[in-house]
Structure 1
Amino acid sequence: MGFAATDEQGSYGSLGPDLARCRQTGTAHDHVLDARRRIRIRPLHADEAAERDGEQELGSRTGGESESPIARFLLALADGRVFTMSITGLLSAWDADSGELLWRGDYSSRFGKGHPYWGAATSPLVDGNRVVVHFGTDDQGALIALDAESGKEIWSHGKDGASYASPILVELQGRRQIVELTMKGLASVDSESGRSLWEYPYPQIGTDQNMVTPVYHRGLVLQGGENRGIRGLEPRLDGGVWTVHERWHQEKVALDMSAAVVNGDLLYGFSHFGLGRLFCLDTKTGEVLWQGPGRTGENVAFLAIPGHVVALVNDGELKIMAAGGDRFDTVASYRVSESPTWAHPVLLESGILVKDGRTLTLWSLSGTTVRSPSPSR
């Protein structure tokens, strides 16, 4: 999921086709993060054992590197450190200013291999002094918290295999907890101790994969999956015991690979039914309010901004939709890449960054003042 923000009127100005800057990055699924106006990308070969690591900053003296077509990196930034999770399941910590490698977490020997069948695709989660990742294969693994400064293991939870989703941090009934989707289902643990709080089975239907990151909104955990629709689940604490209640379950739309995003009390996502449809549903009831046309694409990356939802389709089309449940309303649509786009776009004061298969491109946003990101609650 993604959050961004615009000016107080929700205006995003006129996007493109003004090309402000373009940078070769190498072929990869790598994501991008913005830290103090410095743009970081970390493409790596699939084989991390060679320790061939590269960092490019927009405007720096270094050049892009030719990389493996299957390279993939997931990023997190906290307290001057960048944490990266590679496709091979290697967690690395870097100094955000110098790019110096600080430490690495490799659990391939514990689980026989460092990643599930299609490669690791989970983002590191940082909470205080802990960086949390689910390591392991399809069949076995664990959610593990490491000390962000030293890389030393703090706690380990469970034995379930690693999914392709990312853990999220929520506060439920006064308890700060980490909720994740494993290969078997949803699980929640206390963030500080790693103690199990609650579980909810969510077996696969079809292919052997759980890929969609859960969404938390107003006491509900919203979870979708391939051929399983979407559920609104309410964890409750009563007498010291956690239980999970299904508030609603709808099967008109389902989430396969693309994580959904909440704007207001509405969930916006991309269903694999109909060969790919954008949709909007009411998070309180699960009612599907509208669906877009079929055959839209294969994957979509979303950003929620005041009054609008940004959707970057994997074919390089950027859609800006009005946030509302009345109808499917595309305010504007732009062609921002001629090659596939897998990473989330990044909204900046000066424009919007789009990472495609080989380039990082900054598209201008004319006449727009962008405020700091502010996730909806």
Structure 2
Amino acid sequence: MIHRKSLRSSLALWIAIVLTNGISPAAEWPQWRGPNRDGVWDEQGIAESFSGEQIQPLWRAPISNGYTGPTVAAGRAYVMDRIAAPAETERVLCFDADTGKELWRFEYECAYERFGYPNGPRACVTIDNGLAYAMGAMGHLHCLDAATGALVWRHDLKSEYAIRLPTWAMACAPLIAGDLVVLNIGGQPGAAIVAFDKKTGEERWRALDDRIAYSSPILIEQAGRTVLVSLTAERLAGLDPETGALLWEAPFAPAKGPISVPDPVLHNGHLFVSSFYDGSMLVKLASDRLAAEIVWRRRGASERKTDSLHCMISTPVLQGDHIYGIDSYGEFRCLEIATGDRIWESQAITPFARWSTAHFTRRRDKVWIFNERGELIIGKLSPQGFQEIDRAALLEPTTGQLSQRGGVCWSPPAFAYGRIYVRNDKELLCASLSE
């Protein structure tokens, strides 16, 4: 049974917000990893350092458990969470981005099967042209009116596509590709990747027989064409986003269980992917045709004795001739792109612990890092080492399933309107980063 509570939102109010605050689409964070899904933030008027050791919030709003990072668009902030009792439900929540006032919530029954870290939903809500696309941990995909929370269409992907849940359930953030919404779901038959009409929910195409991965697809330009790139549990695949036809592939089958969480990263005609158990791979894209070839693939003896990068949660940064990312136990590493050789390693931004993580967001010549201790760090990346500029506490680590290390903040941040939006298992928090 579906339950929904909403408050009316008017176009006139949104126009007033835009005129008052000077908001532009470039200042929003409408999907996983930002406006272009590449972890880049380019707002003006942002402070270069913090005023103290603790960043003071503009507002806090109570929420429940989950790993879903916030998204921000049209003056509203969105997040998902889970209520475990008295009935198991997942919720899509919408707040006023300026005040933290709850505008609406969409709640649906969702009994969790047995899977690891059943804290709540994983995937960020995607906002596009007045619609919100939200996928829960059990594969419930909802399209909602972004202003009111009214249901537009829905799918129970696990049931409809005979999905065998992976170890940590479903985590793909919906991708908008033209008039389609695309997801990596590992369905059957031939439905590892599925595209739906974004307005009606009608299936438009399905592709591949691969097992599910946690990674989300991206769009790139290659040889004058738009290509949908997705990392499944078996390969890195380039597809025609309109038809799902396979254009090229690079095998990336796991030696152990498939744990591919980070997105593919595009840099100077190359794609880089990484996996917790299976190391890293660099693929070169042909510039004159739709083709790709593996430049190198490196994998250590195990997730403890690693080579190159064995990324767990965070998506690495490629800059210049180097790769920067977090290895399996929180080791912050710099690699040479050409070979995958390690240049340096540091424990400066994350504790040494299994799956220790931090999220990178590039802003011009600096990188903003939100680590699992709830700290926000500003710094510069270089092959000579990491230069920390400033650091401040922002959010309490609360995830009880990792209480033995004081909780963690694993949800990615959102940067919009000169602010940062972050969440834990208690609250959604907004703080100003403006000068």
TM-score in terms of structure 1 length: 0.85
The answer to whether the aligner puts 1:363 opposite 2:431 as a matched pair is yes
Counterpart Cα distance in 2 of 1:163 and 1:306: 31
Deviation at 1:55, TM superposition (A): 1.9
Residue by residue, what CA displacement relative to the aligned partner does 1:207-251 show, whole Å, maximum 9, x if unpaired? 34322221111210111122433222113377x673423157583
Q: Give matches, 1:14-25, under 5 Å.
A: 14=50, 16-25=54-63
User: How far has the Cα of 1:263 moved from its partner?
Assistant: 4.3
> Residue in 2 aligned with 1:279?
333
User: Does structure 2 retain, via aligned residues, the 8 Å contact 1:291–1:328?
Assistant: no
Match of 2:411 in 1: 343
Tell me the residue number matched to 1:373.
none
Aligned pair partner of 2:136 in 66, 86, 98? 86
Matched residue SS, 1:14: coil
The alpha-carbon distance between structure 1 residues 263 and 208, as it changes in their structure 2 partners (threshold 3 A), is: closer
Q: What is aligned with 2:218?
A: 168
- SS class of match (1:187): strand
1:255 aligned residue (286, 291, 311): 311
Aligned counterpart for 2:202 among listed residues 152, 167, 187: 152
Aligned equivalents of 2:216, 2:290: Cα separation in 1 = 25
State the 1:357 CA deviation: 2.1
Matched, 1:42 2:80: yes
Give distance in 2, aligned partners of 1:326 and 1:28.
Answer: 37
Counterparts of 2:155 and 2:188, CA distance in 1: 19
Kept after mapping to 2: 8 A contact 1:173/1:237 = yes
What is the Cα deviation at residue 36 of structure 1? 2.2
CA distance in structure 1 between the partners assigned to 2:74 and 2:358 by the alignment: 27
Instruction: Mark the CA change 1:264 to 1:351 in structure 2 (over 3 Å): closer, same or farther.
Output: farther
Gaps of 5+ in 2: 1-32, 34-38, 113-117, 300-306, 398-407
Aligned partners of 1:277 and 1:291 also within 8 Å: yes
More strand by percentage = 1
Q: Please tell me whether the aligned partners of residues 25 and 65 of structure 1 are also in contact (alpha carbons under 8 angstroms).
A: no
How many residue pairs are counted as aligned between the two chains? 362
| TM-score normalised by the chain length of structure 2 | 0.74
Would the alpha carbon gap of residues 245 and 30 (structure 1) be closer, same or farther in structure 2, given more than 3 Å must change? Answer: closer
Q: Note the 1:305-344 alignment, pairs <5 A.
A: 305-339=363-397, 340-344=408-412
Equivalence map 1:67-146=2 (5 Å): 70-72=119-121, 73-113=123-163, 115-136=165-186, 141-146=191-196
Q: Determine whether 1:304 maps to 2:362.
A: yes
Give the Å deviation of 1:291. Answer: 2.1
d(CA) in 2 for partners of 1:306, 1:314: 23
The question of whether the paired residues in 2 share the 8 Å contact of 1:111 and 1:141 is answered with yes
Counterpart code for 1:315: R
Aligned-pair identity in percent equals: 25
Q: Give the equivalent residue in structure 2 for 1:26.
A: 64
**Does 1:220 find its partner at 2:270?**
yes
Checking the alignment, whether the CA contact within 8 Å between 1:13 and 1:366 is kept in structure 2 is no
Q: Which has the bigger relative contact order, CA under 8 A and spacing at least 6?
A: 1
1:177 to 217, 224, 227: 227
Query: Alpha carbons of 1:13 and 1:65: their partners in 2 closer, same or farther (altered >3 Å)?
Result: farther
Residue 21 (structure 1) shift: 1.4
1:155–1:105 distance in 2 versus 1, CA, 3 Å = same
- Residues 327-347 of structure 1, C-alpha deviations (whole Å, 9 max, x = no match): 121111222122221221122
Evaluate the alpha carbon distance shift between residue 197 and residue 57 of structure 1 in structure 2; reply closer, same or farther with a 3 A threshold. Answer: same
